[in-house]
């Protein structure tokens, strides 16, 4: 399987420019199976240190474009014959979600709502936490989906033979880039799975800088491939499923895992 990490700057708060930007980027992408876009690729993380009224306005504006974004992602998936994944704002009743859309080449869509809302940026005041995992199969690889701050919670990312590849889309600031790098490796090692993390670059409206550090990690914690730091780049990286199977059979850590359940969630969605 080939994974395309689309490490890009974002036009903060400008949906039209961001959609046009990614439309151009994906039009020129090479052959691959999975295309990963950053968290909130439609707007950037508009909530960090903003006035509540401004944040609410940005949130509502982005949510109003959800169906358009979903359709566009489906078009990209069909044209590129690849899975396309990225998050945006979704509104349902009184609740707003940081929702990852998973667009398949055949027009099918799945979604995952961010479980852990980043309270240090006020995300918990504007968004509702997701209540379920998402695991699905694509071209022989079982994939799990996560968003940014979810990376800090190993229990939520725990692999109980549900997945071969964990995907994290993020807006992760450069001030904590070492944490991002180490936790991607930790999640790969402890879950004996490939991990793909895509992050943005540039500077947001609050003055936070993003280094990117998008990468694919193997089950031993080795970096299979990575984008250049602080640079816009599309990197296509292959993963070897046979290598993963051999390693799991030889070093069967999962056979000794503890058995427990997470309370307060709606269970799993498995496709």
Candidates 32, 117, 148, 200; catalytic one: 148
Candidates 32, 39, 59, 123; catalytic one: 39
In CATH terms, the superfamily for domain 2-270 is Carbon-nitrogen hydrolase (3.60.110.10)
Candidates 32, 59, 114, 123; catalytic one: 114
Is 114 one of the catalytic residues? Answer: yes
Global pTM?
0.94
Q: Give the number of other CB atoms < 10 A from CB of residue 142.
A: 19
Stretches where the chain sits below pLDDT 70 are 46-56, 267-271
pLDDT per residue as tens digits for the range 35-90? 999 999 999 876 554 556 656 677 777 778 899 999 999 999 999 999 999 999 99
Is 39 one of the catalytic residues? Answer: yes
């Amino acid at each position: 399987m080939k994974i395309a990490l689309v490490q890009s700057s974002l036009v903060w708060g400008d949906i039209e420019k961001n959609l046009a930007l990614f439309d151009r980027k994906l039009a020129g992408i090479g052959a691959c199976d999975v295309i990963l876009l950053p968290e909130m690729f439609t707007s950037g993380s508009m909530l960090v240190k903003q006035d509540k009224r401004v944040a609410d306005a940005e949130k509502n504006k982005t949510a109003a474009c959800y169906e358009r974004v979903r359709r566009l992602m489906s078009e990209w998936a069909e044209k590129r014959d690849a899975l396309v994944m990225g998050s945006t704002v979704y509104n349902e009743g009184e609740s707003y979600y940081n929702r990852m859309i998973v667009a398949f080449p055949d027009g099918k869509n799945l979604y995952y709502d961010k479980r852990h809302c980043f309270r240090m940026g006020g995300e918990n005041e504007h968004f509702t936490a997701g209540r379920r995992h998402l695991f699905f199969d694509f071209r022989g690889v079982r994939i799990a989906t996560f968003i940014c701050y979810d990376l800090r919670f190993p229990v939520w990312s725990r692999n109980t033979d549900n997945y071969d590849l964990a995907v994290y889309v993020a807006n992760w600031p450069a001030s904590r880039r070492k944490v991002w790098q180490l936790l991607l490796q930790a999640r790969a090692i402890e879950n004996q799975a490939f991990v793909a993390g895509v992050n943005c670059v540039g500077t947001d409206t609050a003055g936070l800088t993003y280094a990117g550090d998008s990468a694919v990690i193997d089950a031993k914690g080795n970096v299979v491939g990575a984008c250049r730091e602080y640079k816009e780049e599309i990197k296509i990286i292959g993963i070897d499923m046979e290598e993963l199977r051999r390693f799991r059979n030889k070093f069967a850590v999962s056979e000794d895992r503890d058995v427990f359940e997470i309370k307060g969630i709606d269970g799993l969605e498995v496709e």
